[in-house]
Chains A and B, each alone.
Chain A
Amino acid sequence: KNQVEQSPQSLIILEGKNCTLQCNYTVSPFSNLRWYKQDTGRGPVSLTIMTFSENTKSNGRYTATLDADTKQSSLHITASQLSDSASYICVVQNSNSGYALNFGKGTSLLVTP
């Protein structure tokens, strides 16, 4: 069973609207959680990285939250743009692993005019 589960699997929203993507994880012990954006045909690009002590981090119109107690994270996109259409991948690192990352399958977001 994947240790990082994302929902929804896919999402379609109108340009200008907000949306929230969810990530639940079972990775333990926890080190950090990352959100990546992956455009079609491109490699993933880092949006945010949060450690245990951080519960929110913003990067422009992207705001990530982390609840380490419930092992949940969300990525909120404000005032969506067509260029936000991409796959958003949640990645969790185990503090024992040193380098190994656990990837979710991603949420595919489509922003339409």
Chain B
Amino acid sequence: GAGVSQTPSNKVTEKGKYVELRCDPISGHTALYWYRQSLGQGPEFLIYFQGTGAADDSGLPNDRFFAVRPEGSVSTLKIQRTERGDSAVYLCASSLMGTGSPGANVLTFGAGSRLTVL
């Protein structure tokens, strides 16, 4: 597609429930990133994929968070046993390459998925 697409745009769930957030990156972009953004803050890194593999998942806050990218394109961020503190906007971004020249890893962001845990 022309841009990074994220679904759902809004998700309201109850504490303890399971949630999946989907990201469809720009076609041909090998690098995919998930960030979390709280109100008034800059994006906080969660995980980075190069192709199908998670090259860096050091930003995932705990083992309730997991992400996959099985075919090197669409990615799903999975959150188990959601807590109120998980409420945030989850941003996905993709870039042509993850490393190399700055021009090769200019990130294009999706509009985000706003998660609200009641």
Contacts and interface: CB of A to CB of B under 8 A. Distances in A.
Interface of A: 4, 31-32, 34, 36, 41-46, 49, 51, 89, 91, 93, 98-101, 103-106, 108
Interface string B99-111: 1001101111111
A104 B45 CA distance: 12
B47 to A, nearest CB: 11
Interface of B: 4, 31, 33, 40-45, 48, 55-56, 91, 93, 98-99, 102-103, 105-112
Contacts of A4: 42
A103 B43 contact: yes
Contacts of B98: 98-99
Contact of A105 (B42, B48, B112): B42
B102 A49 contact: yes
Contacts of B45: 100-101
A93 B102 CA distance: 9
Contacts of A104: 42
A103 B110 CA distance: 17
Contacts of A49: 102-103, 106
A105 B109 contact: no
B109 A100 contact: no
B48 A99 contact: yes
Given A101-B45, A104-B42, A105-B40, A43 B102 contact: no
